[in-house]
Structure 1
Amino acid sequence: MSEKHIQAYKDYVKGLKYKDLAEKYGVSVNTIKSWKQRHGWERKKGAPSEKSVHTKKGGQPGNKNALGNRGGGAPAGNQNAVTHGFFSKFLPKDTLSIMKEIQERSPVDMIWDQIQIQYAAIIRAQKIMFVSDKQEMIKELKKKKSVLSETNEVEEEEYEFQFSWDRHATFLNAQSRAMAELRNLIKQFDELAHSEDERRLKLEHMRLSIDKKKLEIEELTEEDKTFEITIVNKGEDND
């Protein structure tokens, strides 16, 4: 059924749990969580939760021995009721807030997030490390200090120069490492994601783009090697 997630959503609103939904529609629990995240599933407040009915051990209905006894459950606000009660003693509020937000994220979702972040970083690096000309040189102030002498105050400045070939080589190495990490993340996603996960199509586009960039980097690296060898040979000829 191509619209499984629509039917699953209707059952989710009724109160079915992830595990029950997964069994009913023949998918993994992670796929159900992925559908919830992607399609924005929400339960209305007060929605019934389909739970198995069982009789509690202890006093029978109407037993007055239970009057005034709040039971063994933790009172409101008790640390036992907080999912990350232990961590709340040591971690900052911002970190705890993030941990709460990712409770609904499955391992597959987290890997997908990492894939998008890594892919975006690779694309962004194209702009940051772009070399427009072989003669291009960047001059950056590295250190500045004032030195007092007997007659006056002298400012000493230390600059760092980045030549085009240095930036280009650094960029190629960084891109190669980033792409290797991205391929590893994609492999993990393939192993964990359900076969019907819609994100697989996007991954295929990413994979093709990565392979293309890899070939370009290899070609550029070979060109750089050839260029260096040519310079050495010219030097030897002059001798």
Structure 2
Amino acid sequence: MRSCLFIFTKRRKGREDVPKQRNEKSIKAEELYRQGWKLVDIAKKLGVPSGTVRRWKSNYNWDGQSERSDKIKVNVRKRGGQPNNKNATGLPGNTHAVKHGLFAKYLPQEVFGIVKELEEKQPIDILWENITLTYANLLHAQRILFVENKEDSNVYVTSQGDNGISYEHQTAWDKQGRSFAAIARIQGELRQMIKTYDEMTRSDLITEEQRLRIDSIKAKLGNDNVNRTESALDEYLEKLGDNINGTE
């Protein structure tokens, strides 16, 4: 029994060692494939199922290992940006391509130009400019919302149609209340920005000029405490307003 099994096994192995003669159509199919034909077109040309052509391609390794590797590398290279496209380059973590690609596509040209000009600015400098701009708007708002006396009132047309005209009467009290609310909101935003700027000056990356801005403020106020009182902040705002008016 053992000898029979041994002989049977040897015979099967011997049969597998004999190379199988290729089908003439498979040879022709490979030639067409190397000429750039698609598998579906090859199947139609030779009158065989497309699955048969795919099986020939796999069994006879039409692409070859080296050619397949080169094809993968080419595909990887094609996934990059266009040649000489600076938007597609940059150090790891650089969002230059994303930022400029999206901005240039969706932002108006004027806004996009401003964005490029602001690239070199540091966040702390942008914050300082916002502090001065916010306080300048605060001074301007106080002039607009000024109430002369208790008789100071205004009447505005709110709507006009077939049913008549609607008016809104603002008394001096109404105007004063809205003025206080608007000014308080701006002052709250300004105080928060000043506090944030003070915290940013503690970084080792800021310049001496940036640090001296807040140091000068503290020296004038005579208080190095970050949680300064309301009166100290008001005094600072007044001094900042004098600086703004002095530059006009």
Q: What TM-score, normalized to structure 1?
A: 0.48
Structure with greater helix percent: 2
Higher relative contact order (CA 8 A, sep 6+): 1
